[in-house]
């Protein structure tokens, strides 16, 4: 919906960085897909919650299948379709149907885990765990998919990892404030224009109490490469600035 979306993508790519987009896909047309091609979009993800619209979510395969066909015909960028294991108003089999349709159209397919309002794991039923395992086995590995943490969560086991939210990953809300992620708004809630290298250093070393049961894939993936260094503590001291990859996600207006 951003009127200068293609310009933003071009700006990102002009710095030699990857530009990805997560969308519900409703506004995609053949012309818009060609514009995204020209802008240099690297990858796009659509999450689909069920086969038919339900009372909780209308992001269904029935509603979006024509958009998926347009992407298959026109997109030069990588397309990933994410289904959800444990979506409350849908049959567990729906996630498998969505994943199979994605692969049929030449896309990659991933599966996410339903979380509660604080981003914590919600238990899966035996049938949901079976569907999760089937889809997980279908997923292709790539540089951007470090999803092994999901195996533990699906089995009810916590993960021991170093969440780099607020440092390597930033969630910028509609008010321009930096938060750990979409499910942990309010921490640190600092205006982006006032967010300094010192804030990045602090949050890089700050242990997040919500991390063991966190299902937020974006944060897991961006933090994964730091699993071997810089132990964290609840109150972190300043350290040399972390180098390398930083992911910034903005909330929709």
**pLDDT tens readout for residues 196-219:** 999 999 999 999 988 998 888 889
Number of folded domains that form the chain:
2
Tell me, what's the pLDDT at 143?
44
Residues 26, 132, single domain; the answer is yes
Residues 210, 94, single domain; the answer is no
CA dist 138 and 166 (Å) reads 32
Tell me, what's the pLDDT at 235?
60
Residues 85, 182, single domain; the answer is no
How many C-beta atoms lie closer than 10 Å to residue 14's C-beta? Answer: 10
- Of the residues 125, 154, 183, which one is the last residue of a structural domain? 154
- Of the residues 106, 123, 154, which one is the last residue of a structural domain? 154
> Mapping DSSP to helix (H, G, I), strand (E, B) and coil, where does residue 250 land?
strand
Token pair 């015909």 is found at 73
pLDDT in tens, the chain (253 residues): 888 999 999 999 999 999 999 999 999 999 999 999 999 999 999 989 888 887 767 788 999 999 999 999 999 999 999 887 655 556 778 888 998 999 999 999 887 766 665 556 666 677 777 677 777 677 655 444 566 777 777 777 888 899 999 999 999 999 999 999 988 889 999 999 999 999 999 999 999 988 998 888 889 888 987 888 888 998 644 444 444 455 666 665 5
Backbone φ and ψ for 103, nearest 5 degrees, come out as -65, -40
CA dist 170 and 252 (Å) reads 14
CATH number at residue 97: 3.20.20.70
Helices (H), the chain: 5-14, 30-39, 61-74, 92-104, 126-138, 149-154, 197-204, 217-223
Tell me, what's the pLDDT at 240?
44
Residues 148, 217, single domain; the answer is no
Tell me, what's the pLDDT at 116?
61
Residues 113, 193, single domain; the answer is no
Q: What is the pTM of this model?
A: 0.73
Name the residue range of residue 68's domain.
Answer: 5-154
Residue 182: name the closest of 122, 117, 234 by CA: 117
Whether 161 is covered by a domain: the verdict is no
> Mapping DSSP to helix (H, G, I), strand (E, B) and coil, where does residue 185 land?
coil
CA dist 186 and 201 (Å) reads 18
CA dist 97 and 150 (Å) reads 20
Residues 106, 53, single domain; the answer is yes
Tell me, what's the pLDDT at 185?
87
Residue 232: name the closest of 134, 163, 166 by CA: 163
Residues 78, 192, single domain; the answer is no
Whether 163 is covered by a domain: the verdict is no
């Amino acid at each position: 919906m951003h009127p200068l979306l293609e310009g933003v993508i071009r700006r990102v790519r002009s710095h030699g960085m990857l530009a990805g987009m997560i969308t519900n896909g409703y506004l995609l047309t053949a012309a818009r897909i060609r514009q995204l091609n020209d802008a240099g979009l690297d990858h796009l993800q659509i999450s689909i919650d069920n086969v038919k619209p339900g009372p909780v979510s209308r992001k269904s395969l029935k509603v979006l299948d024509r958009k998926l066909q347009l992407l298959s015909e026109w997109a030069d960028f990588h397309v990933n379709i994410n289904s959800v294991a444990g979506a409350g108003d849908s049959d567990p089999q729906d996630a498998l149907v969505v994943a199979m349709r994605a692969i049929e159209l030449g896309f990659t397919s991933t599966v996410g885990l339903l979380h509660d309002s604080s981003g914590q794991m919600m238990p899966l039923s035996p049938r949901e765990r079976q569907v999760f395992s089937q889809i997980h086995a279908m997923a292709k590995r790539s540089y951007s998919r470090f999803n092994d943490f999901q195996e533990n969560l699906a089995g009810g086991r916590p993960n021991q990892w170093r969440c780099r939210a607020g440092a390597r990953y930033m969630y910028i809300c509609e008010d321009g404030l930096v938060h750990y992620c979409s499910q942990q708004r309010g921490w640190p809630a600092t205006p982006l224009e006032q967010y300094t290298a010192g804030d990045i250093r602090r949050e890089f070393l700050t242990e997040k109490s919500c991390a063991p049961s966190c299902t937020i894939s974006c944060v897991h993936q961006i933090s994964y490469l730091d699993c071997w260094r810089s132990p964290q503590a609840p109150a972190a001291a300043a350290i040399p600035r972390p180098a390398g990859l930083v992911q910034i996600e903005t909330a929709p207006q």
